[in-house]
């Protein structure tokens, strides 16, 4: 594991952009899974400036690693978010986008194997220790891509935002371990304690992201606040 501690959100984002563009600049097909959410907003802003309308990155294929379907919508939360933040402003061709959905999740691992594997994956960290859709209480380390149906008893269940019985899908720990380079970005004081726990504590399913310590090529990019409880 390499831990890079950057001054602030801006430099964290700049460094993450550099790592992704480094992969994307290779002269072969590059398969990339990228995260939705707030943490990568500036990473994508910076990437759009470079990638938009450039012929240099036609070799890059994009995957999402989790998905939450929305009632009465054809697209789920994750892919909608990725399109809004990056894929649409960067003008990425449909042929380069490979959505994981609640319907095709059972093919996800095979689909990725069939293209030679993921070269890199950008992920974030939840305050509760989740990564991708691997949540406390519903994560088993021996899962590939799997579906979770929400019981309402989970510690992260928020009645205002979720419904009992709803489902989502996520690549599981076994799938994540096959990615050639994992890039974890985290910012902010609120996550500092969890950063410490998952990067230095025991590897337990209750804190799913602790599992990331096992990855043979993990680059962690933190701002100073997120790093503040590490020594």
Q: Is there binding between residue 142 and a second copy (CB under 8 A)?
A: yes
119 included as an active-site residue: no
Which CB atom, from 138 or from 219, has the smaller least distance to a second copy?
Answer: 219
23 catalytic per annotation? no
Task: For a second copy, give the closer residue by CB, 101 or 111.
Answer: 111
Q: How far is the CB of 159 from a second copy (least distance, A)?
A: 30
| Among residues 91, 103, 106, 202, the one that binds a second copy under rule CB under 8 A | 202
Q: Which of residues 1-60 bind a second copy (CB under 8 A)?
A: 1-2, 4, 15, 18-23, 25-29, 56, 59
Q: Which residues contact 231 (CB under 8 A, 6 or more apart)?
A: none
For a second copy, the binding residue among 100, 194, 218, 227 (CB under 8 A) is 218
In whole angstroms, the minimum distance from the beta carbon of 192 to a second copy comes to: 19
| Contact between 210 and a second copy per CB under 8 A | yes
| Residue-wise burial string across 1-38, b where 16 or more C-beta atoms lie within 10 A, e elsewhere | eeebebeebebbbbbbbebbbebbeeeeebbbbbbbbe
Contact between 173 and a second copy by CB under 8 A: the answer reads yes
> Which part of the chain contacts a second copy (CB under 8 A), choosing from 73-81, 89-97, 147-155, 206-214?
206-214
Distance, CA of 169 to CA of 118 (rounded, Å): 18
CB 167 within 8 A of CB 147: yes
Contact 223, 4 (CB under 8 A): no
In sequence order, the 6+-apart residues with CB closer than 8 A to the CB of 106 are: 145
**Token pair for 124:** 């974030």
Active site (annotated) includes residue 181: no
Q: What angle do CA 31, 179, 155 make, to 5 degrees?
A: 115
Which residues neighbour 128 within 8 Å (Cβ) at sequence distance 6 or greater? 135, 136, 155, 156, 194
CA distance 152 to 159: 8
Catalytic residue among 66, 81, 119, 223: 66
Binding site for a second copy (CB under 8 A): 1-2, 4, 15, 18-23, 25-29, 56, 59, 113-117, 140-142, 173-174, 177-178, 181, 201-203, 210, 213-219
Catalytic residues: 66, 128, 130
């Amino acid at each position: 594991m390499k831990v890079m501690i950057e001054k602030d959100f801006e430099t964290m984002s700049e460094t993450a952009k550099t790592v992704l563009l480094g992969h994307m600049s290779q002269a072969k097909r590059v398969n990339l899974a990228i995260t939705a959410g707030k943490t990568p907003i500036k990473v994508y802003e910076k990437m759009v400036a470079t990638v938009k309308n450039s012929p240099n990155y036609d070799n890059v294929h994009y995957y999402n690693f989790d998905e939450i379907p929305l009632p009465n919508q054809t697209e789920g939360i994750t892919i909608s978010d990725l399109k809004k933040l990056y894929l649409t402003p960067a003008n990425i061709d449909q042929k380069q986008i490979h959505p994981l959905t609640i319907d095709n999740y059972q093919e996800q691992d095979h689909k990725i194997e069939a293209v030679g594997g993921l070269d890199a994956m950008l992920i974030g960290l939840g305050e509760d220790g989740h990564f991708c859709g691997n949540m406390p209480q519903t994560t088993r380390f021996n899962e590939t891509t799997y579906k979770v149906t929400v019981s309402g008893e989970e510690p992260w269940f928020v009645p205002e935002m979720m419904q009992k019985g709803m489902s989502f899908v996520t690549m599981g720990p076994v799938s994540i371990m096959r990615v050639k380079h994992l890039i974890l970005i985290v910012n902010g004081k609120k996550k500092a304690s969890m950063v410490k726990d998952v990067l230095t504590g025991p590897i337990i399913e209750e804190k799913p992201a602790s599992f990331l310590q096992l990855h043979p090529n993990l680059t962690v990019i933190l701002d100073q606040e997120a790093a503040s409880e590490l020594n």
